[in-house]
Structure 1
């Protein structure tokens, strides 16, 4: 018998699902486990128990715990990307609008996922393979930011260092908000200010450089 209480008291009944439906169910239950008990409690066996399926069903979707953690991070990243893309598509073509959307969308997505995403990100850091996955998603996010912000950089190219500094601020601020050290609004405003300052610094450097 498991020493953990159920992640979801209204346990899902056994039923025949398509492979995609089953994957969605397992991802949902995995997030519930992390939310209730922390990342350390998330094992493939415990996931099977809480999802009401046999271990082979879980292993068919996630060969290892590392694969499961990568799937959770991918799920989070896809929702974050969709949220930001939707907002950017309907935004005004101004620095203020783009910077505010990037800041708001990033923090909002972390807050929607709650305290569990910092634990998943920390777990990713323990595996070189998972670190590669995280870096790939970060690179895609930074490229999206570059494409949406660089038109306001007075013809300059946003440096990787500047974009990485912005990402570091985004992660730190959203983590602090998720841990309730600061409010989500404070995190959004500080990240917005960081993005605007990055553009202002890039424009000044361009103007000051010899022609």
Structure 2
């Protein structure tokens, strides 16, 4: 029997992913790398190796390391938005219920990523990629909060500065909980109080 016949005639069929599927795969692998080895280990060549794809594929999707990190931040934001939307839809439609839901969903999403999000943000600090992605997300998040909280302020709209202050508090408290400086409950309770106070101040 020839050596060709000794080899199995059945070969694994390579599945060709769509561009969107490939992006999702690469993002998943990147999160795993960050979780297991930290942000410093995440480079485009390393991602290509871990995902078992050619380097040009990774560069085509992200361009640069900052582009990859920005994509991770976008992925986190998208999941955070879905969690908040679902939680608000299912929450008690009172100020206390909505405020508690906003606070808990924000902190929980950050804690789901553990130390990964602070690491990604630190790696992107000062980069134009981060500023573009983060600012776009912040505006969308504030608009959502404006929509669900407007019903509790009567004729007065909550000042935009109040929402920026709330968002700053949400980031600071969530990151403190992620690094163990405070507990998740403490972060959620403090953010809840911040949101309620902001709404009550505007409704006077």
TM-score scaled by length of structure 1: 0.85
Provide the rounded CA distance (Å) in 1 between the counterparts of 2:114 and 2:53: 26
Number of residue pairs aligned between Structure 1 and Structure 2? 192
Which residue number corresponds to residue 69 of structure 2? 69
Q: CA deviation at 1:50?
A: 1.6
Which residue number corresponds to residue 17 of structure 2? 18
1:146 equivalent to 2:146? Answer yes
Q: CA deviation at 1:128?
A: 1.9
Q: CA deviation at 1:28?
A: 0.9
Q: CA deviation at 1:196?
A: 0.5
Structure 1: state its 5+ residue gaps.
1-13, 205-211
Dislocated runs of 4+, deviation >4 Å: none
Structure 2: state its 5+ residue gaps.
1-12
1:35 equivalent to 2:16? Answer no
Q: CA deviation at 1:121?
A: 2.0
Provide the rounded CA distance (Å) in 2 between the counterparts of 1:135 and 1:122: 16
Asked if the contact 2:70/2:129 (under 8 Å) is kept, the reply is no
Does the C-alpha gap of structure 1 residues 30 and 15 become closer, same or farther in structure 2, counting only changes over 3 Å?
Answer: farther
Q: Which has the larger radius of gyration?
A: 2
Which residue number corresponds to residue 11 of structure 1? none
Provide the rounded CA distance (Å) in 2 between the counterparts of 1:23 and 1:15: 17
Which residue number corresponds to residue 107 of structure 1? 107
TM-score scaled by length of structure 2: 0.88
